Structure formats: C-alpha cells, structure tokens
Amino acid sequence: MKDFNFYAPTEVVFGANSEEKVASLIKHYGGHKVLVHYGGQSAVKSGLLDKVCGLLSDGGVEAVKLGGVVPNPRLSKVKEGIEICRKEGIDFILAVGGGSVIDSAKAIAYGVPYEGDVWDFYVGKAQAEVCLPVACVLTIPAAGSEMSEASVITNEDGDVKLGYSNNISRPKFAIMNPCRTFTLPPYQTAAGVTDIMMHTMERYFNPDCDMTITDEIAEALMRTMKECVFAVLKNPEDYRNRAQIMWAGSLAHNDVTGDRGNGDWATHQIEHELSGLFDVTHGAGLAAVWPSWARYVYKENVSRFVRFAVNVMGVPNDFTDPEGTALKGIEAMERFYHAIGMPINIHELIGREVTDEEIKEMVRKCSRNYTITQGKFKALKPEDIEAIYRIAK
C-alpha cells in the first residue's frame, strides 16, 4: 500500500437553508470585507445572490460584488478581481457558484498578495506561499472544487487551460444546500455527475490498485451516482437524490475515494485541451474522451477493468473471457453516457469532426510541447495522446 497524506480542512455546512450561516462563518474565519464572486446569471435569477448579500449586510460583513465568471473561467476576469480586491482592501473571497466561480476565486486569492503575474503559478514559474482565504456557496455539484486544492483557469491568450494545485487555497468552508441545485438544466446535471464519477474513476484506475477499502468506497459512490442521476433528471426537485449527488461531488474529489497523487488523470488532461480549445462543458468533454482512453489502455490491467465492469457497471463476469468482460464494461459506460444525454466521442461533443490541425495543437499542449507524458495507469507519450484523440474523433 502506498503512503499518503489526507488533508481535507474545509468545513462543510450541508442542508436546506445552510446559506443562512454565511455571515457568521465568514467572521469566524477572519473575514471583514468580502469579494462576492459569481457567474453569468443563475445566482442572480434564482435570488441566491441577493439573499447572500442581504445576509452579509445583516451580519455586518461588508461586500463588493464581481460577477461574470464563465464556464472554463478566464484569466482576464481573475485579473479584474485581483485589481478590485487590492483597491477595495478585500480580505476574504466568497464564491457563489460552481467549479468555475470557485476556481476563479482561488486564482484571485493567489494573485492579490503576489507581486508578479498570477499566471506564473499555473505555468509552474512560481509557488504561492500565501493567499486570501476562500469559501463558497456551492450551486452545482461537479468539479469538487469546494473541497479541493485545485484551480483550473483558461488563458484567452492561446486558449491555454491549466490547473494549479496548492493546499493553501482549499476553501475554509463550503455551504451546500441541495435545493440550490434544483434549477440546474439536465445537461449540467448530467455533466456534473459525469465529472463526479470521473474524479473517482481517475483514482480507481491507478497503477497499484491494492486498497480494498478505497476501492469499495469508490465503487459504492459510482453505483450510487448512476442511480441518483436518473432520479433527478426525472424529478429535478428530488431533494434526497440532489443531496446525494452534492455530497458525492465533494467525496469524489477530497481524496476519500483514493489518493489524487496516485490517480491517473490522463482523461482529465486530454479533456482540458478540448474545453480550452472548444469551450465545451468539462464533464461532457470527459464523457467524450473516457471510452477511447479506456479502450487504449485496458490491456495494462485487464482485471481492473473487469472489476469495474462487474462491480460498477453490473456486467456479468465471464470468467472464460476477461477481455470481453472488460470491453463490455466500457460499452456499458457508453450506454450510460448516452442515456443521460452525454456524448461518447468528440464529434458528438462539438457537433463536427475535429481537424488534424486541432488534434496536433491539443497533443502539443497536452504534452507541454512534447516534454511530458500524461497518466499513470499507462504513461501516455505524445503519440499515445494523439492516438486517443483519433479514436475519440
């Protein structure tokens, strides 16, 4: 068994009306003047933004608003936030939204005390020593950013999407009210569940595969998500199942279902180039890549794919044909993606064939100019990454 550190310092405040506690939580974690950061329109339309701002004002917490974060959050918005925080003397950032808003908040938090360009952290030129405290009111279960150390930002200059991980930016608290997810459109609901399952799958398909307790937790989470998603697609106001998805989103990415450092992450890296270039929804991009990744790598550890097929996808185990069982598991996952409205290849994702030039550009970026491999289950060289894009075409 590999050694590991488990660090999940975020206070989770879960339940209906949990946002009522927002002002006292901010004060508890030392905030006086807050940047309330949010997205395009959902938090405004639902009244959540007004409610949070009212609660802050009633609780004696000063607030400055900055909205307009788009999915695949942009560096320019981060820089705008950094300027505002410096000018206004902000000492706390509250993200009201999903992964994009939280990731943008984390980037602003790194940037405020840093004299250089915040992008330095994302390209590996610098490590952040300090950052402003961040917290969130989560509105979409998906990215798991509410408990994670990661922030993924797109630099519009070259459409480069890069992640930066640092424990100092893990949210101080995460308010999770499942009722706030009732308004999610079916596509975002399904993409969110796909991302949640994939955060566990990236950890599950690791090179060691030797921890039963973690595997069992992971399989239970994935099976549960497969059921819950159909329930909420049928009835968007199903509190019980919305709540299960919301909590699973955090568990899938806070390392309870496996150590991030030992996971594969190739599907994520290959997808990040798709959402960087085509501005697609991250979870949908993962669904478009995973089956091709799986078919390309399953022979590295057929029994792992058999276990996944049987324990997660419910495929009968044909002991005489392990490869056949493994492949049936991948096919079952494709059927599941289609059943929830997700694509299973790039054509379905972007509505057209991806061109040779686009594949070459994504391979170059994904391999950081042909200098690194991606993935641990099988270390993918640039030619392997290219092969997967071509299978996924």
| CB-nearer residue toward Zn ion: 92 or 204 | 204
Judge residue 157's burial from the number of C-beta atoms within 10 Å of its C-beta, 0-12 exposed, 13-18 middle, 19 or more buried: exposed
Task: Write down the least CB distance from residue 186 to ligand NZQ, Å.
Answer: 11
Q: For residues 169 and 86, what is the distance between their CA atoms, to the nearest angstrom? A: 18
Angle at 81 between CA 70 and CA 196, to 5 degrees: 40
HSE on the CB side for 297, CA within 13 Å? 27
Residue 311 interacts with ligand NZQ (CB under 6 A)? Answer: no
Q: Which of 37, 49, 75, 97 is in the footprint of ligand NZQ by CB under 6 A?
A: 97
Q: Position 289: which residue type? A: V
Contact status: 195 vs Zn ion (CB under 5 A) = yes
Site string for ligand NZQ, 37-56 (x = CB under 6 A): --xxxxx-------------
Which among 67, 71, 19 has a CA at the least distance from the CA of 45? 67
Contact status: 151 vs ligand NZQ (CB under 6 A): yes
The one of ligand NZQ, Zn ion, none whose footprint includes residue 144, by CB under 5 to 8 A per kind, is ligand NZQ
Write down the least CB distance from residue 64 to ligand NZQ, Å.
19
CB closer to Zn ion out of 19 and 195? 195
Region of 14-22, 36-44, 299-307, 320-328 interacting with ligand NZQ (CB under 6 A): 36-44
Q: What is the total count of residues that contact ligand NZQ (CB under 6 A)?
A: 35
Residue 354 binding ligand NZQ, by CB under 6 A = no
Q: Map the footprint of ligand NZQ across residues 159-218, applying CB under 6 A.
A: 180-181, 183-184, 188, 192, 195
* Binding status of residue 142 toward ligand NZQ by CB under 6 A: yes
* Candidate list 10, 18, 148, 194; residue touching ligand NZQ; CB under 6 A: 148
The residue from 81, 99, 111, 375 that contacts ligand NZQ (CB under 6 A) is: 99
- Only one residue has tokens 């999915």, namely 71
Residues shown for the chain: 393
237 close to 182: Cβ distance less than 8 angstroms: yes
Q: Looking at beta carbons only, is 147 or 326 nearer to ligand NZQ? A: 147
- What CA–CA distance (Å, rounded) separates 29 from 1? 36
Nearer to ligand NZQ, 56 or 101 (CB): 101
In DSSP terms, which residues pair with 37 in a beta bridge?
Answer: 66, 95
Q: How far is it, in rounded angstroms, from Cα 269 to Cα 365?
A: 10
The tokens describing 93, both together, are 């950032």
- When asked if residue 327 is in the footprint of ligand NZQ (CB under 6 A), the reply is no
What's phi and psi for 137, nearest 5 deg?
-110, 105
Q: Choosing among ligand NZQ, Zn ion, none, which partner's interface includes residue 152 (Cβ < 5 to 8 Å by kind)?
A: ligand NZQ
Gap between the Cα atoms of 179 and 177, Å rounded: 5
The CA distance from 282 to 276, in Å, is 9
Q: Is position 297 an interface residue for ligand NZQ (rule: CB under 6 A)?
A: no
Q: What's the token pair of residue 372?
A: 């690194």
Structure tokens at 10: 């975020």
Count CB neighbours of 75 within 10 A: 21
SS3 151: strand
Site string for Zn ion, 268-307 (x = CB under 5 A): ----------------------------------------
Residues that bind ligand NZQ (CB under 6 A): 39-43, 71-72, 97-101, 103, 139-140, 142-145, 148, 150-152, 180-181, 183-184, 188, 192, 195, 253, 268, 275, 282-283
